[in-house]
Every structure is written in structure tokens, then in C-alpha cells.
């Protein structure tokens, strides 16, 4: 196996662990308080609302990944899984809705969101070309002959 290079910034796996360590005890405590101490229709509705919001936050948090490039594959590392997908299966690399967030879409319609590296964030802030980070990632994949 050749050289492995990280193309994403931040640490998605650490962030996912922090999400779980905060939200799971919060939901358990809230559930205990509402069910054991103050059970009512309003309390149940509030509990369902809070659980739904926590589930959405955790689901969104687990859509992010640490991305690494190897010879002919893209390694996607999340907290509980590591996947390797061939770079030939990359359909699209583009900017996501949140600032400084990019995503890779594969031919099977799966997406992996990732943050730009800190150096690319600063380059993007002072650059007149807002698409610079996307072009940089595409160029990096093409330079190594990794993507179509």
C-alpha cells in the first residue's frame, strides 16, 4: 500500500465521540426527569421534541468523516466504521451548505461530508475565488491519477 494522505481538516471522529458523550447522557437524564418526576402530556411532547432534535444533530454529526487518499482509493473514517471506496467511483466533489464544508458523492449516491483543512480555509477567506478549495481537492485527486 502506498502513501496515505489526509485531505480533510479537523477530526470528525473526535467530534462524533463528543456528540455521543454529551447527547446520550442528556437524553437519558431528560427522559428520567420527565417520566419519573413530571409525567404529563406536555412533558411527553417536550421529551419527544428533544429526542427528535438530538437524533437529528447526531445523524448530521455522523455524516461527517475524516478522508484519506491512498493509491487508488478514498478512505472514509467515521467513529464506528472505516470504508474504502475506489476513486474511480467518485461522481462529484462540491461545497456543502455549511461554510468550509465539502462533500464527496459516489456513484451509489452515498455522500461523505468533510471540513476543509485550516490552511485552505484561510486561503479561501482571502481569495477572490470562492471555489478554490473544491478545485484544490479535485486537483489533488487528479494529480495522483486517482479520479476521473
Q: What is the pLDDT along the chain (148 residues), one digit of tens a residue?
A: 568 888 887 788 888 888 889 888 988 888 888 888 777 888 888 888 988 998 888 888 888 888 888 878 888 898 888 999 888 888 888 888 877 788 888 889 888 888 877 655 555 555 656 566 667 777 766 655 444 4
Q: Which domain holds residue 69?
A: 64-143
Residue 43 covered by a domain: yes
Q: Is the domain of 82 the same as that of 126?
A: yes
At residue 18's C-alpha, the angle toward residues 12 and 21, to 5°, is: 145
Q: Is the domain of 29 the same as that of 69?
A: no
Q: Are 73 and 141 in contact (CB under 8 A)?
A: no
Give the H or E element holding residue 132: helix 132-143
Residue 5 covered by a domain: no
Q: Is the domain of 32 the same as that of 102?
A: no
- Domains in the chain: how many in total? 2
Collect all residues with Cβ–Cβ distance below 8 Å to 5 and sequence separation of at least 6. Answer: 68, 69
Collect all residues with Cβ–Cβ distance below 8 Å to 140 and sequence separation of at least 6. Answer: 7, 69
Q: Is the domain of 40 the same as that of 79?
A: no
Amino acid at each position: 500500500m502506498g502513501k496515505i494522505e489526509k485531505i480533510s481538516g479537523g477530526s470528525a471522529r473526535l467530534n462524533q465521540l463528543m456528540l455521543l458523550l454529551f447527547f446520550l447522557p442528556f437524553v437519558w437524564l431528560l427522559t428520567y426527569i420527565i417520566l419519573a418526576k413530571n409525567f404529563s402530556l406536555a412533558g411527553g411532547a417536550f421529551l419527544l421534541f428533544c429526542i427528535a432534535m438530538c437524533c437529528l444533530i447526531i445523524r448530521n454529526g455522523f455524516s461527517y468523516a475524516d478522508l484519506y487518499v491512498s493509491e487508488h482509493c478514498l478512505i472514509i473514517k467515521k467513529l464506528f466504521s472505516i470504508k474504502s471506496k475506489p476513486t474511480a467511483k467518485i461522481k462529484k466533489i462540491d461545497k456543502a451548505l455549511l461554510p468550509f464544508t465539502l462533500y464527496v458523492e459516489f456513484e451509489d449516491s452515498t455522500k461523505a461530508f468533510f471540513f476543509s483543512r485550516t490552511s485552505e480555509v484561510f486561503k479561501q477567506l482571502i481569495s477572490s475565488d470562492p471555489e478554490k478549495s473544491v478545485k484544490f481537492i479535485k486537483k489533488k485527486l487528479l494529480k495522483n491519477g486517482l479520479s476521473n
